[in-house]
């Protein structure tokens, strides 16, 4: 049996796909696993922000086509980089256990403090909005490219600091670059941050994914994505959501920002984790309507 796994070709994407493949090998040791990498449209266009070129869907378009063409059986994604609407014929079938969901501050190598004459590099509107409250005196400027490309720009003197996801740095064995962890109260993470998602096409046997699936993470992912989906939050929206489970209970914290960014509301809702998506939708309605 041969199983082909599709991935973006960045170093982080490959590492994450290999993590999934290692778990698959434990479940189906006799299978031949092959990694198929490809460059997506989002990886090619680096001189514009995501909202200018079409959003997160540009990171999955080529991978989706490879699934539909039968060139791969599964694709692996960072869940936070996936559009909230997933095609019916290409379902998400596994969510990994969650890595550290927090955002972090990264300084240039050898630096101990931010240089106030240089901007903080950060493209996400979600991060930008929350960073402004923490560092009102600092300029924040967009930065594109994979993690290693961004770090090269930082160390080359373009920025005073970067804000990145802890999960990506840890998976790249670059945890030593982290200067400060932001608590989830300081910067609420993106929906799905730290979670790997496996996607397939209808009809593919998914039994090989049993070693990857994490039920608690899946509940958190569904709640967070339902919250963002209800608010129609795309890549240019500051919307954020983060859920945790305790036993059969799930607590979701969400951030709502009005389109003109004059209204900012943050709230929390707790309920049964079996009703994760309903919780996400309900919290979004509460915050949007201010009730």
Question: Which DSSP string corresponds to 204-259?
Answer: ---GGGTTT--HHHHHHHHHHHHHHHHTT--TT---EEEEEEETTEEEEEEEEE-T
Angle (CA) 129-100-38 rounded to 5° is: 85
CA distance 72 to 51: 29
Q: Catalytic: 81? A: yes
Asked if 250 contacts 62 with a C-beta cutoff of 8 angstroms, the reply is no
User: Residues 6 or more apart from 169 whose CB is under 8 A from it?
Assistant: 104, 106, 147, 175, 177, 178
Among the listed residues 30, 43, 51, 81, the single catalytic one is 81
Asked if 240 contacts 191 with a C-beta cutoff of 8 angstroms, the reply is yes
Sign of CA dihedral 7, 43, 259, 127: positive
CA distance 243 to 64: 27
Looking at the chain, the number of H-run helices and the number of E-run strands are 9, 13
What are the catalytic residues?
Answer: 81
């Amino acid at each position: 049996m041969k199983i082909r796994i599709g991935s973006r070709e960045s170093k982080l994407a490959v590492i994450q796909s290999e993590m999934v493949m290692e778990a698959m090998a434990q479940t189906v040791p006799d299978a031949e696993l092959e990694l198929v990498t490809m460059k997506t449209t989002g990886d090619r266009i680096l001189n514009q922000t995501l909202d200018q070129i079409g959003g997160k869907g540009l990171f999955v378009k080529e991978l989706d086509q490879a699934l539909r063409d039968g060139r791969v059986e599964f694709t692996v994604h960072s869940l936070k980089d996936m559009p909230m609407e997933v095609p019916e014929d290409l379902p998400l079938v596994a969510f990994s256990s969650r890595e550290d969901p927090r955002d972090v501050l990264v300084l240039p190598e050898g630096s101990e403090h931010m240089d106030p004459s240089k901007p903080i590099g950060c493209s996400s509107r979600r991060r930008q909005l929350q960073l402004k409250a923490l560092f009102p005196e600092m300029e924040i400027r967009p930065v594109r490219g994979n993690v290693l490309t961004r770090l090269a720009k930082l160390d080359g003197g373009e920025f005073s600091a970067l804000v990145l996801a802890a999960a990506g740095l840890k998976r790249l064995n670059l945890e030593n670059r982290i200067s400060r962890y932001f608590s989830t109260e300081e910067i609420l993470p993106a929906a799905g941050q730290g979670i790997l998602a496996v996607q397939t096409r209808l009809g593919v046997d998914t039994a090989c994914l049993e070693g990857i699936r994490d039920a608690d993470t899946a509940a958190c992912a569904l709640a967070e994505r339902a919250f963002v989906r209800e608010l129609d939050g795309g890549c240019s929206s500051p919307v954020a959501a983060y859920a945790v489970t305790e036993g059969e209970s799930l607590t979701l914290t969400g951030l709502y920002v009005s389109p003109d960014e004059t209204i900012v509301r943050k709230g929390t809702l707790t309920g049964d984790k079996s009703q994760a998506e309903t919780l996400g939708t309900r919290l979004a309605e509460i915050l949007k309507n201010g009730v």
